């Protein structure tokens, strides 16, 4: 079984990065309600997000749930499991992403990290996962269009994807999604 996972707001908590962008802009934090951030945030916040996205700050983000790395490590030891971490960071720094996963306690191999540049749904279609976990509405829609099995992580921090809730299986966090898919039990 092949499982693919997004990183940001699925495994890692993006809120500290967003809060820092608002702090640097001298503005109060506003939750992201749309995937098109330039439509909801002013230019100074967007500029700070871009700056932070390209900095080491991104690679210091904490995990959302300390139990998830343990579960993923156990899944990766199963002989019939292929776990890949597919990100759309587009920074072409897979070594830093790999180190971030390792520092978070996820004992993956370097070749399990795919930091790609193209259309993520196209990449996922080529990878042929049995299930993909993501929060991006664009990726979720792309997976649905390409018949890639997808579960959306959707909660109060991901208001930008709530409009898809009626169209795709969704759970508030990766732990719950893994439990509902029978993968958490298997990992324990």
Q: Where are the domains of the chain?
A: 2-12+63-187, 15-59
- pLDDT of the residue at 36: 80
Out of 49-58, 77-86, 166-175, which region has the weakest mean confidence (pLDDT)? 49-58
Question: 71-123 pLDDT, tens per residue?
Answer: 999 999 999 999 999 998 866 788 899 999 999 999 999 999 988 778 999 99
Q: How far is CA 88 from the centre of its chain?
A: 9
Cα–Cα distance list, 106 to 63, 98, 102, 109, 137 (Å): 10, 9, 5, 9, 26
At the fourth CATH level, which superfamily is domain 2-12+63-187? Answer: HAD superfamily/HAD-like (3.40.50.1000)
Which of 152, 156, 120 is closest to 135 using CA atoms?
152
**pTM score, two decimals?**
0.93
């Amino acid at each position: 079984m092949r499982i693919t996972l997004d990183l940001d707001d699925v495994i890692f908590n993006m809120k500290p990065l967003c809060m820092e962008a608002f702090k640097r802009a001298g503005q109060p934090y506003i939750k992201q309600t749309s995937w098109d951030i330039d439509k909801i945030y002013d230019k100074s916040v967007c500029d700070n997000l871009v700056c932070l996205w390209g900095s080491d700050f991104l690679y210091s983000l904490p995990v959302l749930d300390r139990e998830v790395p343990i579960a993923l490590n156990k899944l990766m030891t199963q002989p019939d499991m292929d776990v890949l971490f597919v990100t759309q960071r587009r920074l072409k720094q897979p070594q830093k992403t790999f180190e971030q996963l390792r520092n978070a306690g996820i004992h993956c191999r370097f070749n399990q990290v795919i930091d790609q540049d193209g259309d993520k749904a196209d990449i996922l279609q080529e990878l042929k996962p049995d299930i993909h976990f993501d929060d991006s509405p664009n990726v979720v829609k792309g997976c649905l269009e390409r018949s890639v099995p997808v579960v959306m992580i959707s909660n109060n921090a991901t208001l930008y994807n709530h409009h898809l809730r009626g169209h795709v299986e969704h759970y508030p966090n990766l732990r719950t999604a893994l439990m509902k898919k029978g993968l958490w039990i298997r990992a324990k």
